[in-house]
Amino acid sequence: MSQESLSPAYLTRLAQEFGTPLYAYDAAKIKQQYDKLTTAFNNSNTLFFYACKALTNINILRYIRDLGANVDCSSVNEVKLALHAGFPPERILYTSNGIGFDEIEEAQSLGVIINIDSLSNLEKFGRKFGASHPVGVRLRPGIMAGGNLKISTGHDKSKFGIPVDQIEKVLSLVEKYQLEIADLHIHTGSEIVDPDVFVKGIEILFDLIPRFNHLKFIDLGGGFKVPYKDGDSETDIQLLAQKVTKAFESHPNPGGRPLQVWFEPGKFLVSESGYFITKVNVIKTTDAATFVSVDSGFNHLIRPMFYDAYHRIDNISNPNGQPRRYSVVGNICETDTFAWDRTINEVREGDYLVFYNAGAYGFEMSSNFNSRYKPAEVLVKDGQAHLIRRRDRFEDLLRNQIEL
């Protein structure tokens, strides 16, 4: 854990002040992660677009904007949130996938950068806008990478992007509609530890670059890994920067133009900034396990059930308690196990359990399942805790319902 992380005593005070379940984010950690990227790449022509689907609270978007990052969006609503947060359109990238053309038209009218991921939408774009709006193309490189199949997007059975072996079709659309292709994009998956995956991506793009006359950028996507448990590795950003730089040195000015490199980190920027604090409702001893039920479930943090993700859990109310083995579960009417057979300092009813690495795809994937309230969110910045989303109230459950 870095020094900047929030202490158990501080997290306890947040839980007491704002109630549980609670998401708390440490702004300093986001800055630390962003600085790692800009420091490693400081001598190269590289930009970072925060993949905001990881966490879209408007205050987080503004904080990341102020750090100097750009933003990558996966829906037109995220584009509008980014505009609302004060990103100028030229710092907003919309990497669409499988969307209707009306959404692309809307993004075009908002003036943002667009990556198109199907021949069908590229054709529609060409017909309507021709050369008037430079556009990017998302390619599927046929690379298998990422933590597991659910978060792997670049392999040759993935729905994402236009397969590179259909490049001739892309080129004939470019020709037919005089399209200006400004960037080629690949995103191979999440939790990529090996920098060579990105180098492999660059190698594939190098072969294609000379065939596109208006290229200014190549976009290598996101997917940098962060450690979730002791001994876990993090993508070595310094090494990545060296390897990317070296790959470009071996292909000077591909296509005769200097190209800017883009990355789209999501998890890397916000995962470790986030703490999810819950309170223990019930302890149930059975032959199979000692179950600890907390005041939450996969309605608030779905990653363990959905991705088999590991989140470190501490009992911040009993830091010196005797370690015991527990299964940590939720309170919803579904199997919602957060952790099986996990060693945690002795847990008592009423204790606070904190889940680490909860900043990315935590609150963002939460729901009102079981008609439970979504948690509150707090941002800790310059030593101050700010409530940035109030907990749902009963009227929120009825808000969009129409009573006949």
Which of the residues are catalytic? 333
CA–CA separation, 249 vs 79, rounded Å? 35
Q: Does 223 bind ligand PLP (CB under 6 A)?
A: yes
Q: Does 266 bind ligand PLP (CB under 6 A)?
A: yes
Query: Which of 136, 154, 222, 254 lies at the binding interface for ligand PLP (CB under 6 A)?
Result: 222
- Specify the 3-state DSSP secondary structure of 233: coil
Contacting residues for 301 by C-beta, under 8 A, at least 6 apart: 276, 311, 338, 355, 358, 362, 366
- Pattern 292-311, binding to ligand PLP, x per CB under 6 A? --------------------
Structural tokens at position 349 = 């009813």
Whichever of 188 and 317 has its CB closer to ligand PLP, that residue is: 188
Question: Which segment (220-228, 231-239, 296-304, 312-320) binds ligand PLP by CB under 6 A?
Answer: 220-228
Structural tokens at position 17 = 């002040």
Whether omega for the bond prior to residue 8 falls within 30 degrees of 0, making it cis, is no
> Which residue shows structure tokens 């969009």?
400
Q: How far is the CB of 352 from ligand PLP (least distance, A)?
A: 27
Q: Does 74 bind ligand PLP (CB under 6 A)?
A: yes
Residue 44 is classified by DSSP as: S
Whichever of 56 and 95 has its CB closer to ligand PLP, that residue is: 95
Please give the backbone phi and psi of residue 286, each rounded to the nearest 5 degrees, phi first: -130, 175
Q: How far is the CB of 97 from ligand PLP (least distance, A)?
A: 7
Q: How many residues bind ligand PLP (CB under 6 A)?
A: 18
Q: Does 72 bind ligand PLP (CB under 6 A)?
A: yes
Whichever of 36 and 53 has its CB closer to ligand PLP, that residue is: 53
User: How many Cβ atoms from other residues are within 10 Å of residue 383's Cβ?
Assistant: 7
Site residues for ligand PLP, window 349-388 (CB under 6 A)? 360
Site residues for ligand PLP, window 40-69 (CB under 6 A)? 51, 53-54
What are the distances in angstroms from CA 342 to CA 291, 292, 301, 303, 325?
10, 11, 17, 17, 5
CA–CA separation, 363 vs 320, rounded Å? 30
Query: Is there a contact between 140 and 165 (Cβ–Cβ < 8 Å)?
Result: no
Whichever of 160 and 177 has its CB closer to ligand PLP, that residue is: 160
Whichever of 218 and 294 has its CB closer to ligand PLP, that residue is: 218
CA–CA separation, 354 vs 279, rounded Å? 9
Whichever of 5 and 74 has its CB closer to ligand PLP, that residue is: 74
Query: Which of 26, 180, 264, 272 lies at the binding interface for ligand PLP (CB under 6 A)?
Result: 264
Question: Which segment (13-21, 195-203, 218-226, 240-248) binds ligand PLP by CB under 6 A?
Answer: 218-226
Query: Which of 29, 187, 200, 311 lies at the binding interface for ligand PLP (CB under 6 A)?
Result: 187
- Specify the 3-state DSSP secondary structure of 402: coil
Q: Does 265 bind ligand PLP (CB under 6 A)?
A: yes
As a 3-state breakdown, the chain gives helix, strand, coil percent values, each rounded to 5, of 35, 25, 40
Q: Does 125 bind ligand PLP (CB under 6 A)?
A: no
What are the distances in angstroms from CA 306 to CA 91, 233, 365?
32, 22, 11
Give the footprint of ligand PLP on this chain (CB under 6 A): 51, 53-54, 72, 74, 95, 187, 190, 221-224, 264-268, 360
